[in-house]
Amino acid sequence: MSTAVNRRMLKEYLAIQKNSATRPHLERLEPLQENDLLHWQAVLIGTSDSAYEGGKFQLDIVIPSSYPIQPPVIHFTTKICHPNVHFKTGEICLDILKSEWTPSWNLESVCVAISSLLTNPEPSSPLNCDAGKSANLLRCGDMAGYNSLVKMYTELYAMDDDDDNDDK
Amino acid sequence: MDNSITDPLDWPAEFAAMREIDSHLRCPICKEFLRAAMMLQCYHNFCSECIRRHLDKESTCPACRVATSTSQLRRNVSLDEVSQNFVDCRSQLLKAVKGSVDSSKVKTQQLPTTTETMDYNVAIQQKKRRRVSTRISTRSTRSGQEYHTAATDDDIDDEDFVINSQESSKPINNNGKGVDRQKTAGPVLRSRAGAGGASNHSTGEMESQDSVTSEPPAPSLLTNGQPAESFKHNLVQCPVCAVGVPEPYTNTHLDKFCFQGKKDPAYTISYDLISTQAPDVIRLYERQGTTTSDVSGATPASLQQSKSSNAFDALSGFNGRSAQTSSSFQSKFEMPVSPKKPALEMPSELAFDFITRLPKVTYSVLNDKQLRKRLQELGLSTQGDRQLLQKRHAEYVTIYNANCDSSRPQPVTQLKKSLAAWEQAYEKDLQSKDAQRRAQGTFQRQQQELAQQQQQSASEINISSSQPSSQSSSQPSSQPSSQPSASNSSAPVQSHVNNSLVAVAASRAHLSAHAYKHKDEYDELIADIRRRQMAEKERARVEEEKKQKEKEPLTVV
C-alpha cells in the first residue's frame, strides 16, 4: 500500500518537474527531502490582482499513507491573514481538503485551489479567529478595509525583506 | 506490468494526441494504466482495485461526484484490452515516435495518422470524456486540423450509435455495446488508413457501418478480429469456452453447454486447433448437430476421451461447486470477451476460481468471534486486535474482488502475498504514528509544566506589582520572570501596570489551552510583537534624545 503511494508521488513529482513552466502562481512544489516523498513543501506567490501581491506563502504538505483515497494534510507555515486560514496554526478551511476530496485530484491541482482561495475568500465559514474581523469586514462589503488589513499582514510576514524592514 | 514510472508527457510535444491517449488510458486514482477497467454508470473508468478502495470509503464517483456504489460497477472489457495492449506496445511505439521526430518530415506525416486513428478509437470508448487540456493548444496547425476531422468523425459515430440503439429492438448489454462500437470503428480505421481521412469519405463509412451493425449481434461479436472467412461454415470462437463452433449452431452450443457448465461433445477442440482440422469438426458437428435432446448422456463419455488443452477442460476438471456457481454467475454477468488469447493463458486451475465476488461486510454487526470465523473461512490470519482484523478483511475483499474483475487473474497464493505486504506496510505506518503521538504527548506534558510555572510566576508578580515598578505597562511579556531590562521609558502609571498584569495572568489561563498545541507559534508571535515594541521604543527614545539635544543648545545659547 505504501509502495502504491510512493509510486503515485513519484509520478506526480516527475509530472510537476516536466511542466513547471505552466504555473505562474506556484514558485515551488517539491518534497522536503529527496528520500521522503510523503512530506512536501510548496511556495505560493500572491497574485497581482489581490492584496497578497508580492507575498510568498509557504505550505507544508503531509501525504497520508492511504493517499490518494485520503486527502493530503496541508497548512500554511507562513503567517497569512485570510478568513479561511487559521492565523496561528495555518490550518486551511477548504472543502476539497476535507469532505469534497476526490482521488482524481493531485498536489498540483490542490495548490491551484488554495491559490484561488486566496483571491476568493469565503467569509461565511471563517477559521481565522483573530481576523474574524476580516470576515466581518468582508461581509460588510468593506473591501478597502479588508484589503488593507491583508496587505499589512502580507507585508509583515510574507515579504522576502521582512527582516530588513524590521531593522530600519 | 513493468515497474518503470511512465507519464503521458513522455510523448514528444508534436504528438499531443498520443499524450491524450496515454492519459485517457490511465486510472485517475493511481495514474497507472487501467488494470481491470471498471465503468461506473457515469461512464468514468477506473482500475477495479482503486475504485473499490474508494467506494469503501465514499460512495461517489471520483471524477464527477455522482452518487454510486459497488453494485454499479461494470467491467469495461474492451477498454481493458486496449489499455493492456497499449502497455505492451508502449515502449516500442514511443521509440518509433521519438525516432520519427528525429528523422525526416516524411516519416512524421505518416505517424500522426496512426495516432489519430488510435485517438479516435479511444474517443469512442471513453464516450467523449475528453479532458480538453491546455496542451492541445500547443499543437502545430497541421495536427490541429487532423484533430478537427477526428472530432467530426466522433459526432458522426455518435449519431450512428443513437440510430443504432433505437432501431435494435433487443436490449444490448454494456458489453455488447462496447464490442459493437469497436466493430464500427473497424472500417473507419481501415478506410482512413487508405484514404488519409478525406472528409467526403465519411458518408461511405456510414454505409459500411450500417451494414455491419445491422447484423445480429452474436455473430459479429464472435467473429470479431478472427479470420473466419476462410471456412465454408464460418467457424466462430465461443466467447465463453473458447472452442470453435460452426456459426449456425452457436446458440445451441451456448444454451445447452456453455452456460450449463458442461462440455459439448461435438466440438471440444479449441479454436486455435480447429483451424487445421475444421472440416472434420464441422462434419462431426453436423452428425450430432441436433443435440437439442440428449445432453447428459453424451457428456460423460466424450469428457474423458478428449483431453484437449482448452479452458473448458479446466472448468470441468474443477470442482463441482465452482461449476455450479459459474453457471449462475454467467447468467447474471457478462463473461470476458477477449478477442485473442482468452482463458487459455491463465493457469488452468484458477480459470473459474474467481467467479464469485466476496460480499461486502458490515463489520459493526459482527462480533469478534464471527469476524474471526469469516477470516478463517478465507484462510486468513486471525491475529491482532479488532481494528486490524477488520482492515485485513476489508483489504482482502478489495483485492480479491479486484482480482475477479481482472482478465488475467492471479492465484490466491499471490493475493495472500500482497495482503502480507500490505499488512507489513500498515504496521509500519501504525508504529510511526504511535511514535509521533508519543512524542507529541511528551511535548504536551512539557508545555503543561511550563504553563504552570508561568502562571505561578505571574501570580507572584501580581502580588509584587503593588510596589512601584519601573516596568513598562504595554509589555505583554510571555515570561514575566525573565523581564527585559531595556526599559527606561517614561514613568508608568502604577494602577495601569497592575491592571495589565492581572489581565495577562487571566488571559494566560485561557491561552494555555492553545499554547499546548501551538507553543512555537505563540512564542514566535510574542517575540515578534516584542521586537516591534522594542524598535518603537528605541525610535521614541532616539527622538526624545534628539529633542533634548535640540533643547540643550537652546538653553546654552
B124-143 pLDDT tens trace: 444 444 444 434 443 444 44
Widest distance between CA atoms in chain A: 53
C-alpha grid cell, residue B502: 492581572
Q: What does the pLDDT read at residue B120?
A: 46
Cell numbers 451456448 correspond to B254
Q: Is A129 a catalytic residue?
A: no
Identify the bridge partners of residue B270 per DSSP, sorted by sequence position.
Answer: B243
Say what the pLDDT of residue B503 is: 53
Residue in A1, A100, A103 closest to B425 by CB: A1
Length of chain A: 168
Residue-wise DSSP of A97-126: GTTT--TT--HHHHHHHHHHHHHS--TTS-
> Rounded to the nearest 5 degrees, what angle is found at the Cα of B20, between the Cα atoms of B142 and A105?
140
Amino acid B288: pLDDT: 56
Alpha carbon dihedral B538, B541, B545, B550, in 10-degree steps, equals 110
Q: How far apart are the first and last CA of chain B?
A: 95
Q: How do residues B269-303 score in pLDDT, each as one tens digit? A: 555 555 555 566 566 656 655 444 444 444 444 44
3-state secondary structure of A142: coil
pLDDT band for position A74 (cuts 50, 70, 90): very high
Q: Which of residues 482-501 of B touch A (CB under 8 A)?
A: none
- Residue A73: which pLDDT band, with cuts at 50, 70 and 90? very high
Nearest chain B Cα distance for residue A34, angstroms = 17
Q: Which three cell numbers stand for residue B226?
A: 478472427
Residue of A3, A65, A102 lying closest to B62 (CB–CB): A102
Least confident of A140-149, B29-38, B388-397, B538-547: A140-149
Task: Decide which of B249 and B398 is more confident.
Answer: B398
The whole-angstrom distance between B428's CA and the closest CA on chain A is 10
Any chain A CB within 8 A of the CB of B417?
Answer: no
Q: What is the pLDDT of residue B188?
A: 40
Q: Which amino acid is at B222?
A: L
Chain A residues within 8 A of B28 when measuring between CB atoms: 103-104
More confident residue, B28 or B150: B28
Contacts B32 to A, Cβ<8 Å: 7
CB within 8 Å: A69 and B60: no
Number of residues that make up chain B: 557
User: With bands split at pLDDT 50, 70 and 90, how would you rate the model's confidence at B250?
Assistant: confident
**Could you say which of B5, B29, B532 has the minimum Cβ distance to residue A104?**
B29
Mean pLDDT score across all residues of chain A: 80
Using pLDDT thresholds of 50, 70 and 90, give the confidence band for residue A72: very high
User: For B390-399, which contacts have Cβ atoms below 8 Å and span 24 or more sequence positions?
Assistant: B390/B363, B391/B426, B392/B419, B392/B423, B393/B361, B393/B363, B394/B56, B394/B361, B394/B363, B395/B419, B395/B422, B396/B358, B397/B358, B397/B360, B397/B361, B398/B49, B398/B52, B398/B53, B398/B56, B399/B49
pLDDT tens digits along B480-520: 444 444 444 444 444 444 555 555 555 554 545 444 555 66
Map residue B347 onto helix, strand or coil.
coil
Instruction: Considering only residues B484 and B10, tell me which one the structure prediction assigns the higher pLDDT.
Output: B10
CA-nearest of B127, B157, B141 to B43 is B127
Query: If you classify domain A2-160 with CATH, what class do you get?
Result: alpha beta
Structure-derived torsion over alpha carbons of residues B217, B220, B223, B224, reported in degrees to the nearest 10 = -110
Select the more confidently predicted residue: B214 or B53: B53
Sign of the CA dihedral B381, B383, B384, B389?
positive
Q: Which residues of B touch A12 (CB under 8 A)?
A: 31
Our CA angle for A78, A83, A86, nearest 5°, is 45
pLDDT above 60 (res B435): yes
Give the whole-number percent of chain B exceeding pLDDT 70. 44
Hunting for cell 500500500 — which residue is that? A1
CA angle B359, B363, B364 (to 5 degrees): 140
Nearest to A160 by CA among A59, A90, A57, A68: A57
Q: Averaging pLDDT over each range in A11-15, A28-32, B50-54, B254-258, which range is the top one?
A: B50-54
* Lowest-confidence pick of B94-108, B438-452, B457-471: B457-471
Q: For residues B436 and A73, what is the distance between their CA atoms, to the nearest angstrom?
A: 15
Interface test with B, best of A13, A36, A39, A88 (most B CBs within 10 A): A88
Rounded Cα gap, residues B97 and B286, in angstroms = 51
Beta-carbon contacts of A69 under 8 Å, excluding residues fewer than 6 positions away, are A103, B29, B53, B54, B57
Say if CB A75 and CB A127 are below 8 A apart.
Answer: no
Question: Closest Cα to residue B62, out of B90, B39, B82?
Answer: B39
Sign of CA dihedral B268, B274, B277, B278: positive
Compute the CA torsion angle B77, B81, B83, B84 (nearest 10 deg): 130
Question: Taking CB atoms and an 8 Å cutoff, what residues of chain B touch A68?
Answer: 29-30
Secondary structure letter of residue B493 according to DSSP: P
Answer whether A166 sits within 8 Å of B422, measured CB to CB: no
Tens-digit pLDDT profile for residues B154-208: 444 444 444 444 444 444 444 444 444 444 443 444 434 344 434 444 444 444 4
CA angle in degrees (0–180, nearest 5) for B299-B305-B310: 80
pLDDT of A2 reads 55
Amino acid at A7: R
Judge whether A98 and A114 are in contact, CB under 8 Å. Answer: no
pLDDT tier for residue B440 given thresholds of 50, 70 and 90: confident
pLDDT confidence of residue B517: 53
Q: What is the mean pLDDT of residues B308-330?
A: 41
Q: Reply yes or no on whether the pLDDT at B391 is more than 70.
A: yes
Domain ranges, ordered by start, for chain A: 2-160
> How far is the alpha carbon of A146 from chain B, nearest alpha carbon, in Å?
21
Residue B201 carries which DSSP code?
Answer: G
**pLDDT band at residue A90 using 50, 70 and 90 as cut-offs:** confident
The span from the CA of B272 to the CA of B275, in Å, is 6
Between residues B514 and B149, which one has the greater pLDDT?
B514
Mean pLDDT along residues B511-539: 71
The verdict on domain B1-214 having CATH code 3.30.40.10 is yes
Give the mean model confidence (pLDDT) for residues B382-390: 86
Q: B348: closest CA among B390, B312, B388?
A: B312
Radius of gyration, alpha carbons of chain B: 37
Rounded to 5 degrees, what are φ and ψ at B159? -60, -45
Q: What local confidence, expressed as pLDDT, does residue B275 receive?
A: 55
Chain B residues touching A13 at Cβ < 8 A = none
- B405: confidence class by pLDDT, cuts 50, 70, 90: confident
Residues of chain A in Cβ contact (below 8 Å) with chain B: 1-4, 7-8, 10-12, 14-15, 18-19, 22, 65, 68-70, 88-89, 100, 102-104, 106, 166
Let me know: does B472 contact B492? Beta carbons within 8 Å: yes
Using the beta-carbon criterion (under 8 Å), do B522 and A88 form an inter-chain contact? Answer: yes
Mean pLDDT over each residue of chain B, to the nearest integer: 63
Residue of A7, A8, A104 lying closest to B63 (CB–CB): A104
The nearest alpha carbon in chain A to B60 belongs to A102
Q: Could you report how far apart the first and last alpha carbons of chain A are, in Å?
A: 53
Chain mean position to CA B462: 63
Q: Which residues of chain B are within 8 Å of residue A8 when distances are taken between CB atoms?
A: 30-31
pLDDT-derived band at B31 (thresholds 50, 70, 90) equals confident
CA distance B53 to chain A (A): 7
Please report which helix (H) or strand (E) contains residue B554, including its range: helix B519-556
| Predicted local distance difference test score (pLDDT) of residue B153 | 43
Residue B522 to residue A87: CA distance in whole angstroms:
11
Q: For residue B279, which of B225, B235, B219 has the smallest C-alpha distance?
A: B235
Task: Name the residue among B7, B60, B429 with its Cβ closest to that of A65.
Answer: B429
Q: What is the DSSP letter of B410?
A: P
Between the alpha carbon of residue A24 and those of residues A29, A154, B445, the distances in Å are 12, 19, 44
